[in-house]
Amino acid sequence: MYTRRRFPMRTVLIWTRRELIFFICLSTVVTVLYELLDIKWLQLPFTPVGVVGTAVAFLIGFQNNAAYDRIWEARKIWGGIVNVSRSFVITVKDSFYIHKATEAKDEKENIRIITRRHVAWLTALRYAMRTKKPWEATYNMEGKKKVNFEYHIPEHRTPLEEELRDYLSEEELNYVMQKDNKPNAVINLQSKHLRKLADEGKIWDFSLLRMQEMLQEMTALQGKSERIKNFPYPKQYGSISYHFVHIFMWLLPFAIIPSFASMGSDLGEIGKPYEFIGDYFIWLNIPFTALVIWVFNTMLRIGLAGENPFEGSVNDVPISNISRGISRDILQLIDEEPENIPEPFENINNVQM
């Protein structure tokens, strides 16, 4: 998502410039037919069109609220992942039963393995959330990006296996890559390792229970994230909104133009200097009509852009940055060597991924 505090109007206009040009052309064509070609029957009463506009406004409002709820829930889920990750590593550090100098090296190595395995879980989870779904086509159509600036999705540039290789042993990596649900496979490895340490008497049993509870919490958060990813926004709502907005878009020019023609006639009857303004007043319906349609269409697009919060667009939850930030935090907690700590992702064009 954008790191800027406000979403500039210039960006909105660039984002919707094609539609805006079309709306202006549509209004101009209707005005030319009505005024220059004298086809006066090209008009509709404003009242029924206004009723349709009211219904469309309520429908779009419902869609945008539902889309925002999906984005906000996704952000809360990943906020929970941040908290449980930090708590988990701190608990692991302080859970070893024997802190003798002879076993300090073994203890530190186990902490390092567990922590790096947790980074592998974060990595596998963000890759799973970036998997393309058939319904995620908001920003791509026929291979052409519908954005006007460069941005990069890290998960689409580097294979998952290459990323995991730095955090898992070769045996663990092979095990994880064979599974369909790779984040769940990493959690399974983590649980087995903790159980083994408890059986060897290296960690307290109560600490094991606490860490198992944290693993359950991670699994629950993962499941909630997968629920949003794997269940699309109901298309009956999205499709109906899309079609209703376009019906309203085609009807509105024919309903507005009679009002502007009537106001122009009233101004012409007043006399000079309003007579000249009245003759051309009807042409002012072009920007006003285009503006009204543009507002409805932009609100529709905002709702569509928020339906899939993990798709990887500029309006989605920046799970790549969140995951990388957690990874850096927990690796620094165990005093990992700086060269083994991954660098933050570059935010190209002030866009977090």
Distance CA 191, CA 4 (A): 41
pTM score, whole prediction: 0.80
Regions of the chain where pLDDT drops below 70: 1-9, 11, 97-104, 137-151, 267-269, 271-276, 278, 348-353
What ranges do the domains of the chain cover?
1-42+235-306, 74-233+319-353
DSSP code per residue over 10-72: HHHHHHTHHHHHHHHHHHHHHHIIIIIS--TT----HHHHHHHHHHHHHHHHHHHHHHHHHHH
Cα angle 164, 118, 187; round to 5: 95
- For residue 215, the model assigns a pLDDT of 93
- For residue 76, the model assigns a pLDDT of 93
- For residue 348, the model assigns a pLDDT of 67
